[in-house]
Structures are given as structure tokens and as C-alpha cells.
């Protein structure tokens, strides 16, 4: 199968490439970039992408596919469809399934199911401790051999610093990344939203920023001690950004991510007691949002992930106190990045999409996130000018929990290509 993408703006941060031209795909591999023509290849398909942006396939290194165990929220099929529609060619899924992804057999099950679905690449993340209880180290080496790409206890962060040191020592020996949700549970203390004036007005128990920042600081110090490849998930506060910036300046081996919700929304989204705005870490203040944008611009924050966290309607349509935390994000990420970062000039197009392509590939050690000739043709084509309104009823995800309903966004993925095959067009999955 030969495919020619004709006349697009090709932006590949991994090669510092930004040019108008053609991109030729041959037998699932990238065969030419620039002024290349089809020549004797006689491509079966030519796509005119004039006015569109062609980037390496987007990689989301923080999603929840919920299978096995919670298929009523999402499964690998619906999660893959949501990813493809959102422009993602690869996702890394967190281990908070049932059973927990803390053994090689669960890791291999996820990989088998992803192969059966056959849409986007799925990379499982294994648990650090058995059942994510924070008591006993999981079989990390065995899971690594089975196909896990990183390890995390996700939203059940290890509170025991001694155990955290041991797992980081072990992962450093295996040269595999540890991803940490940073939260001191004794400080968050079952809080419901960001602690401040708004939480007081609403009468909702607050979570102080320090609940995140104390654990960021601890994990940075443990990374310095163990030389582990630490990746801090979904950074949400100014204090966390400043701690990570200082750690990087001193040469500590860490990376971090944030999510579109943390540079697009503030705690004000909770004012209507909308449970779809209940997420963990919670939505913060306007000052925190400004700090997240600063951290993205100066390189402190390496990656933009979504923390796509589907929940069933009946779970969210309940009292704020008992609703689970999380929102879906795969199908709104591109629009939020262009609307909130690129259009206002906070980030260049290349810098923004580096954080969704080459940067997550580097953190996870994937041979992806590039348009280099000879590499697998995993590509996303984006219309950066089209305006659209978020309508959750059109999501491919089984769950619709988003506080963005009705929001106008700019920018939309129009083609998602995996191994040279178009799997989604204009947010419709066609594979």
C-alpha cells in the first residue's frame, strides 16, 4: 500500500523540520518527505492535505482503558476508537484495572486484546506494588519482559518512602521509568476540590496544593538518591513546577507531564457542582494555570498527556462527594492544545506537538514520535483552523464525562494513520 499526503505543512520536532511539501508512505513506512513525488510508486491513494499540519502520530502516555474489569466504563476497543478519533496513534494505559496489572499475565492480556482490536498501539504500564496497595513490590522484572513500558501505582501513590526507594532502586537497575501520581494522602484527606476561597464558598472539603508538592519534593529527592528515571504525572500547581524546574537545573534525572485540563480550566469549573469537573489532582487557580503554561513554554514540563479517565454516567450523576474523580480527554486534547496554547502564542506549533510525540516516546523508550524516513508511518494530520463545539454524545469513548460540553475549540485531527493505514478521518474511525 502506497499513500501520498500532498501539500501539507510537515512539522516533525524530532528532526527540527517545518516545511511545506509531500509525504510518501510505502508499505507502512515513511519513504520520502518534502518535494517528493509519487514517481514510479503509483500510490493507490493520494490525500490532499493542503492547509493541514502533518505531525508524527500523537502519543498519549497516560490513559485509563479500564479493561480488564471495568468494561462498563471503557474497554480496549472503545478506548482505541477514542484515541484514533482524537488523533492518537499510541497510548500507554495505567494499571488500575481489575485485576490490577501487577503480573505478566495481565500485561500480556492487554497486549493480546490490543492486537485483536488492531487500531492504535497500546503500551501497558505495570503496577509498582501488588494490587497497588503500597505494601509489597510487584513482579516488575517479569512484567517488563512481558511488555510493560513503565511502572506506576497511578492514583494510589506509595506513602512509604522506604518502599518507594526500593522500587526506584530496582527500576533504576532495570533502566525503566517510574511514573508517580504525587499526593500525600494524609494532607488530601479525602478532599473534593482545590483548597481555597472557592472550596469554602461551596462548602466542599479542599485539597491543599502542598498535598501534591510535598510528594513531588520527596520523589525528586529519591530520584537523586537512586538515579531512577522518575516521571511525575499530571503536574497541577505552581509549587510543583518550581520544584521540578529547580531539580532539572541541578541535574536530577526527572521528566514530567501535565494535562490539557490543567492549562484550560480552573477551580471555577466546580462552582456548579459539576461532578465532571471533579478530578485528581483537582483543578487549581488561575495562578497555577499560568505557572503550568510557563512550565510548558520553558521546557520544565516535557509532556502533554490526557489522563483520560472514563466513568459511567450513573457514577458521575450523583452527589459531588461520592462521585469518582476523572474526566475523558482523548477526543478533546488536540483542540485544547491549539485553542489554549498555540493560538494565544503560549507555545509554537512545533513545541506543542513535540510534547505529544517525540517527548513521550523518549520518556517511555519507544521507537516512535518521528517522521524519519524508514520509520513506521504513524502520522496525525490536523486542521489547525477549523472551529468546533464539544459534543460528548459524539465521543467514541464509552464514557462521556467531560466538563467541556458546549465549549468552542479550534483545531481538529482530520486523519489518523497507523503503519501507513488511515484508521480515522474527521474523527470517524474507518478501519
Give CA separation, 138 vs 36, 141, 146, 228, in Å: 50, 9, 13, 17
Strands (DSSP E) found in 13-165: 17-26, 29-34, 45-48, 53-56, 58-63, 88-93, 121-126, 150-151
- How many other C-beta atoms can be found within 10 angstroms of the C-beta atom of residue 379? 29
Strand partners, 193: 206
Q: Which of 286, 339, 282, 336 is closest to 306 using CA atoms?
A: 336
309 Cβ contact list (under 8 Å, min separation 6): 64, 279, 325, 326, 327, 328, 329, 401
CA distance 236 to 233: 9
Instruction: Find the helix packing angle between 238-249 and 210-226, rounded to 10°.
Output: 20
Give CA separation, 15 vs 32, 49, 382, in Å: 14, 21, 19
In the set 154, 288, 307, 383, the catalytic residue is: 307
CA distance 420 to 371: 12
8 Cβ contact list (under 8 Å, min separation 6): 20, 21, 22, 23, 49, 50, 51, 52, 53, 54, 381
Biggest distance spanned by C-alpha atoms of the chain: 69
Q: What sign does the CA torsion over 40, 46, 49, 50 have?
A: positive
CA distance 244 to 224: 12
Active site (annotated) includes residue 307: yes
Task: Give the residue numbers annotated as catalytic, written as ranges.
Answer: 307
Amino acid at each position: 500500500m502506497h499513500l501520498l499526503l500532498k501539500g501539507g505543512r510537515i512539522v516533525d520536532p524530532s528532526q527540527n523540520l517545518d516545511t511545506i511539501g509531500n509525504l510518501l508512505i510505502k508499505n507502512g513506512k515513511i519513504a520520502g518527505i518534502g518535494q517528493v513525488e509519487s514517481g514510479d510508486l503509483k500510490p493507490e491513494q493520494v490525500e490532499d492535505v493542503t492547509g493541514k499540519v502533518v505531525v508524527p502520530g500523537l502519543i498519549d502516555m497516560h490513559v485509563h482503558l479500564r479493561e480488564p474489569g471495568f468494561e462498563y466504563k471503557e474497554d480496549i476497543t472503545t478506548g482505541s476508537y477514542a484515541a484514533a478519533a482524537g488523533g492518537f496513534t499510541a497510548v500507554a494505559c495505567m494499571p488500575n484495572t481489575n485485576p490490577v496489572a501487577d503480573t505478566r499475565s495481565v500485561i500480556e492480556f492487554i497486549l493480546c486484546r490490543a492486537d485483536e482490536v488492531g487500531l492504535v498501539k497500546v503500551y501497558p504500564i505495570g503496577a509498582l506494588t501488588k494490587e497497588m496497595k503500597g505494601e509489597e513490590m510487584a513482579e516488575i522484572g517479569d512484567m517488563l519482559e512481558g511488555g510493560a513500558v513503565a511502572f506506576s501505582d497511578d492514583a494510589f501513590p506509595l506513602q512509604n518512602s522506604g518502599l518507594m526507594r526500593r522500587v526506584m532502586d530496582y527500576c533504576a537497575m532495570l533502566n525503566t521509568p517510574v511514573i508517580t501520581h504525587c499526593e500525600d494522602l494524609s494532607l488530601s484527606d479525602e478532599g473534593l476540590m482545590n483548597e481555597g476561597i472557592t472550596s469554602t464558598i461551596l462548602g466542599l472539603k479542599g485539597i491543599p496544593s502542598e498535598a501534591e508538592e510535598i510528594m513531588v519534593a520527596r520523589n525528586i529527592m529519591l530520584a537523586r538518591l537512586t538515579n531512577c528515571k522518575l516521571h511525575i504525572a499530571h503536574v497541577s500547581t505552581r509549587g510543583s513546577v518550581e520544584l521540578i524546574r529547580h531539580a532539572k537545573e541541578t541535574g536530577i534525572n526527572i521528566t514530567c507531564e501535565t494535562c490539557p485540563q490543567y492549562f484550560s480550566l480552573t477551580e471555577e469549573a466546580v462552582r456548579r457542582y459539576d461532578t465532571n469537573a471533579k478530578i485528581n489532582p483537582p483543578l487549581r487557580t488561575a495562578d497555577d494555570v499560568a505557572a503550568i503554561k510557563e512550565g510548558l513554554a520553558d521546557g520544565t514540563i516535557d509532556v502533554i498527556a490526557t489522563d483520560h479517565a472514563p466513568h459511567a454516567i450513573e457514577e458521575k450523576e450523583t452527589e459531588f462527594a461520592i462521585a469518582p474523580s476523572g474526566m475523558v480527554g482523548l477526543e478533546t486534547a488536540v483542540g485544547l492544545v491549539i485553542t489554549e496554547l498555540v493560538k494565544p502564542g503560549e507555545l509554537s506549533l512545533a513545541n506543542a506537538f513535540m510534547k505529544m510525540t517525540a517527548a513521550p516516546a523518549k520518556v517511555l523508550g519507544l521507537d516512535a514520535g518521528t517522521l524519519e524516513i524508514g520509520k513506521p508511518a504513524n502520522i496525525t494530520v490536523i486542521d489547525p483552523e477549523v472551529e468546533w463545539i464539544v459534543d460528548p454524545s459524539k465521543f467514541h469513548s464509552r464514557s462521556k464525562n467531560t466538563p467541556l460540553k458546549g465549549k468552542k475549540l479550534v483545531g481538529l485531527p482530520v486523519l489518523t494513520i497507523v503503519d501507513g493505514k488511515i484508521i480515522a478521518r474527521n474523527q470517524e474511525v474507518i478501519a
